[in-house]
Amino acid sequence: MERLKRFISGPSLDELIIDISMYTKQISRTQKKFEKRKNELRAKAKQELLNGETSRAKMYMQQSLKAKNTAFSLDMFSLAMEDLVFDLKNTSNVNQMAPVMGKISKTLEKLDLLKTSNVSQIMGKVNNQIEKAGFGMEQIYDEIKDYETFSITDLTDSDVERELDILTEEAMAEGPAMGLPPSRLSELKKKRDELRDQ
């Protein structure tokens, strides 16, 4: 009972829940910025394709897909954290709280791989709260070893080539309306076929 009192007494747990919720909202705003950046870079890639600059189009497409993957990971992080904060608010004893706090810590560690700002500060607060309850991180991580947090998708060359192929199809479809000459359209078709043969 004393351990439970230490864990939930005072404003520190409530403050931590507020800090985590605020940080999750900050990450959601960052996710929207990456989503916007993805669209801007994709538009640049299409323009470079229309201009015949396939190497520049590929560079922009790589950046666009990296932004897309980051936006997706940040979105998954936000959803996971919202669920975990809900679970944390609805636990009734320290033995239920500790694994939830461990899952929050593990999820924040994964986010740290994306080099997101202020994550280590929040992680420190979570880990301090766990220690305050009298648990060791190793003990909790062992208890939640099967917990899978959000995923971070790696970008491959085939992803870039596939997206460039789709973008080339779009550019070819829009080309006549944009007044592209038939020679330019046939060059786009040739480039698309080259991408498909790789």
- The domains located in the chain, with CATH, are 2-197 (1.20.1260.60)
Tell me the C-alpha distance between 4 and 133, whole Å: 7
- For residue 24, the model assigns a pLDDT of 93
Q: Sort residue 72 into left (φ over 0), alpha (ψ -120 to 50) or beta.
A: alpha
CA atoms within 13 A on the CB side of 118: 10
Question: Tens digit of pLDDT for each residue in 99-145?
Answer: 898 999 999 989 888 888 888 888 888 888 888 777 888 888 888 88
Expressed in angstroms, the distance from the first to the final Cα of the chain is 65
Q: What is the DSSP string of 77-92?
A: HHHHHHHHHHHHHT--
Tens-place pLDDT, residues 24-57: 999 999 999 999 999 999 999 988 888 878 889 8
Residue 196: band (very low, low, confident or very high) from pLDDT cuts 50, 70, 90: low
Convert the pLDDT of each residue in 161-183 to its tens digit. Answer: 889 888 888 877 877 777 777 77
